[in-house]
A and B are shown apart, each in its own frame.
Chain A
Amino acid sequence: MSGLPGFLIDDRLHFPSCPSQGGQRFLVEMAAPLTLLLVLAVTIRAALFRSSLAELIAERVEVVSPITAWKRVVEGLALLDLGVSPYSGDVFHETPLIIYLFHFVVDYAEITFMLADVITAVALYMAVKDYNKQVFRKQKFALEADRYPLDCLELIRSPKEMYYIPLKVAMFYLLNPFTILSCVAKSTCGLNNAVVALFIFSTIKGNTLLSAIFLCLATYQSIYPLTLCAPAMLYLMQRQYIPVNFRRASFWWFIAQYLFMYLGSLFVLICLSFFLLGSWDYMPSVYGFILSVPDLTPNIGLFWYFFAEMFEHFRLFFLCVFQINVFFYTIPLSVKLKEHPVFLIFMQLAVISIFKSYPTVGDIALYMAFLPVWSHLYRFLRNTFLVSCVLLACSTLFPVLWHLWIYAGSANSNFYYAITLLFNVAQVGQPGRSQRRLLIESLTETPCSPLRKSQNEKSY
């Protein structure tokens, strides 16, 4: 404890949720703001659902993609009513489970989507709270072992900060205009986000089986969450004190266990889907559609204009390059970030939402919700102001340029494309920058000398 004023240490070591302080009381204390937040979020959504804006938002290409559009879900149900397989056409691309779900709750769709958002927010809230507890414990050990130098103090998270982080995460998700738009448009992206959030929650809680099942559900919905496999396994191993070592049997045993659960539930889901509609038509219609990108409806991603303008004989090559891009970073990132699996989850979510074939603002909202978790590292962020300005400006320019191109006819596709390009330039920096932050942070946990100096990085 040398070098640190006693009162400061005291203050920073008391985490309000530790059992000695009475977890019960904490729960009550925290539940109130969360409930308030949920009520506020639901009110906003309900108000928007009732307004005339809802219809307008549901048509926005930034908010709904050909996969997630509510209009197409309704179309799928209508086709089913007509006795036509929804997958015989090229309008419906949801999985059979979604159509089965909405077969029953189509009249309560608004409630379902609000519920999905609430579930996502609560799951993220609980997950981050749990994660913070662990971080705090680690920090406490480090402090007690006197591993922090004096001038690292500003990096140490105070209990007060940490106390609000879960709430901030929930707030970032629920009150993010992107999430609100996505929910009001009834984009099924909200449901996918809920599944991913539940996966994160069960992973952080250390429930291997539920983690595998939710991950499998997320994969089943849209292939990309497959890459979250690696961080989940890393985290669970860290939690069960299994060393990440290729020569250890326990390591391989755990991987085999997890993969077995994952593939088993995937098998069950796929067979279930087969029996629901009695055909394999959904495979090319859902996964083939995601991977081969036949629908070039404009969206905020990189694919649509690129493949609209692509020369036909290079199409397959670039399709492979672009799709591999999502999966490609998983292994090197897992190697580099094996000590920080939760951060790896965040990175993967960001990579997916940028490089997936039909991104919407709902995907961005999910990874943006994680930003408060690493709020103590913001001062290492470069160009924060610039990036947030670009993101904001682009978000407002999307509808403007869309209007100029599609309705006014005074602009052409290049205008809208330019904005999506800029939006993505601003975004691609994001994971890189955050990772930089984290790598710097990881230095603080080594017995270190002043961190300030470490900002002169050495690269080769």
Chain B
Amino acid sequence: HYAAAQKQAEPAVLQPTPQPKDDFQEELVVRPLHSGDIYASFQFRTLWETDFMRGNKVSHYRLFPKSLGQVISKFSVRELHISFTQGYWRTMQWGQPYLPSPPGAELWVWFQDSVTDVDATWKELTNVLSGIFCASLNFIDSTNTVQPSASFKPLGIGNVTDHRFLRYATLPREIVCTENLTPWKKLLPCGSKAGLAVLLKSEKLFHSSFHSQAVHIRPVCQDWQCKTTSWELRQTLNVVFDLHNSGQGKREWSLFKMFSRTLTEACPLASSSKIYIDITDNPEQFELSPATSLLSQAMVLGDRRTFSVYDLTQQDTFGSVRSLNLLIRWKSTEGDMLRPLLHAERYVAGYGLQTGEIHTLMYNHHPYRSFPVLLLDSVPWYLRLYIHTLTVTSKGKDNKPSYIHYQPSKDRVRPHLLEMLVQLPPNSVTEVTVQFERALLKWTEYTPDPNHGFYVGSSVISSLVPSTVAMDTNSTRERPLFSSFFPCKEESSYFVRVYTEPLLVNLPTPDFSMPYNVICLTCTVVAVGYGSLYNLLTRSFQIEEPSPGLAKRIANVIRKMRGVPPL
């Protein structure tokens, strides 16, 4: 169900695919945001009608990157989703992203049910991926891996629901930079030599307020009958350019300004290469040049959007200068955005280094419809959660979750996993609080710069949100009357995943400079205890006659000589 929703979320290009065994498509979606920022989302999709699993060794690779193909067949991967993100997506200012991702690195993998030792395979896989993407994925171990029971369903075909074969991990502290982008670009059939990938220059991409790159691999149906499957590799890159950084205060963008490159050709290997500009708000807000007559409509995130389409495979797109430099110019700064229906934030409350409380706020901005959300929290073991302090309140009333899956942590072995299904009442804020205790770690377990704090990964909120189109019961938009009485099913709700902010939590620290002193002093105290007991155990008490004084001794000598008993 999620898979359908997710697929629908993208403005899919439904072209009758030709017969070659593999196929490559590329596209760029540009969405001017109401805040004045601009959101560019690249998607590169490689489809390959092959089967990695049936024991036949796949050795001939054309468009599909060999490194990933080998990973899939060696580790029996069913689905693989990996994302590297720098910056935090501001839902309330920017709306929902096409592909959400949490700050840092995120990796989730469904394995084939033929895998016997999932943990060992996962460990190996993370190390291999770490090498492929030049990222610190090798720091993924059992202490930050969880097995969500409901939040992460397979997005491709196949309805495995046994979450034993699922592993999910985040590295919220991971910093994404050029060294991650280069190997990512190398996976593309044209590299960064031709096509849309020419625009991906790191000096511009990383000079932005948000940058996220991802790789999604999943099995998909080849045709409508779904008799055979093919593998889909989707490489996405989302970036939000800042108003003031790149526009110098002027609200005007062009491809050249954003990426310091213009487009001259499509990737020759691509069957389709397109640029979509979201012009739903045009022409009240901005104007676009060169203009195009090609328009496309799609349901994106529950909203009907209109796009101008530039097809790079057509020569006339590039005009006489043989180069395409799209220009967007803002006309006015006002205008309001449709508030995202689902939004969440999270923070740590309390003071001091002993205890604390995690607050997660989930907003339902829908005016009259309530909907359920799945909240997933993975908290490291050194913040000891007390599940009996868990409270869920909305509108001042207790809101009991209908499903709770809680796995307590094991020290130095595995994190806490809390998953619950909460019904969000219409137009409300639901607050989830849980108390925790901060552990004192061994001095070798602290990260460098321990007083900076420890990161706790974002919580993940997955939900089927009622669509804004269905919300519009008064038919403010023009639609044929016969189509607008009952909300049709496809449009009634859409799948959304929202990531909250990662948390930064301080832990009490020992003094790192004095292990020797502590060892010496404590051992001394133990030795004193031992010594005093040893002393008494070996000491014998005996009564000692006091030595008599000199006069007495002389007297006794005299008495002895006299034959009288001594004094």
Contact = CB atoms under 8 A, between A and B. Distances in A.
Interface of A: 59, 61, 71, 74-75, 77-79, 82, 84, 88-91, 294-298, 302, 304-312, 321-322, 325, 329, 332-333, 336, 351, 354-355, 405-407, 409, 412-414, 417, 421, 424-425, 428-429, 431-433, 435-436, 439-440, 442-443, 448-449, 453-454, 456-460
B514 A78 contact: no
Contacts of B442: 296, 307-308, 310, 312
A309 B353 contact: no
Contact of A295 (B351, B439, B515, B529): B439
B541 A440 contact: yes
Contacts of A59: 354-355
Contacts of B443: 308-309
Nearest to A294: B411
B544 A456 contact: yes
A346 to B, nearest CB: 14
Nearest to B546: A453
Interface stretch (B33-41, B187-195, B518-526): B518-526
Contacts of A332: 537
A435 B536 contact: yes
A415 to B, nearest CB: 10
Contacts, number: 172
B508 interface: yes
7 contacts: A61-B354, A90-B408, A90-B409, A296-B442, A412-B511, A413-B511, A456-B544
A432 B536 CA distance: 7
B410 interface: yes
A84 B404 CA distance: 11
B543 A454 contact: yes
Interface of A is mostly: helix
A443 B541 contact: yes
B522 A302 contact: yes
Given A428-B525, A440-B541, A413 B508 contact: yes
Contacts of B353: 405-407, 409
Contacts of A443: 541, 543
Nearest to B515: A309
B541 A457 contact: yes
Contacts of A308: 440-443, 510
B105 to A, nearest CB: 26
B432 to A, nearest CB: 16
B441 A459 contact: no
B-side interface size class = 35 or more
B381 interface: yes
B180 interface: no
Interface in B497-540: 508-511, 514-515, 518-519, 521-522, 525-526, 528-530, 532-533, 535-540
Nearest to A416: B508
A294 B384 CA distance: 13
B441 A91 contact: no
B164 interface: no
A296 B530 CA distance: 24
Contacts of B514: 309, 414
Contact of A294 (B412, B525, B530, B543): B412
Contacts of B537: 332-333, 336
B542 interface: yes
Interface of B: 351-355, 381, 384, 386-388, 404, 406-412, 416, 437, 439-444, 508-511, 514-515, 518-519, 521-522, 525-526, 528-530, 532-533, 535-546
A111 to B, nearest CB: 21
Contact of B387 (A79, A321, A460): A79
Contact of B386 (A71, A312, A432, A457): A71
A406 B508 contact: yes
Given A84-B407, A431-B533, A454-B541, A296 B522 contact: no
Contacts of A454: 541-544
Nearest to A78: B388
B388 A439 contact: no
A429 B545 CA distance: 29
B528 A406 contact: no
B440 A296 contact: yes
A436 B388 contact: no
Nearest to B513: A414
Contacts of A297: 437, 439-440
A209 to B, nearest CB: 32
B529 A354 contact: yes
Q: Which of B404, B410, B509, B522 has the most chain A CB atoms closer than 10 A to its own CB?
A: B522
A457 B404 CA distance: 69
A74 B388 contact: yes
A425 B351 CA distance: 33
Q: Which of B353, B439, B526, B529 has the most chain A CB atoms closer than 10 A to its own CB?
A: B529
Contacts of B444: 312
A59 B352 CA distance: 13
A332 B522 CA distance: 24
B543 A453 contact: yes
Nearest 4 Cβ contacts at the A-B interface: A89-B408, A432-B532, A428-B529, A78-B388
B533 A75 contact: no
A406 B388 contact: no
A336 B537 CA distance: 6
Contacts of A458: 540-542, 544
B508 A75 contact: no
A27 B168 CA distance: 69
B525 A425 contact: yes
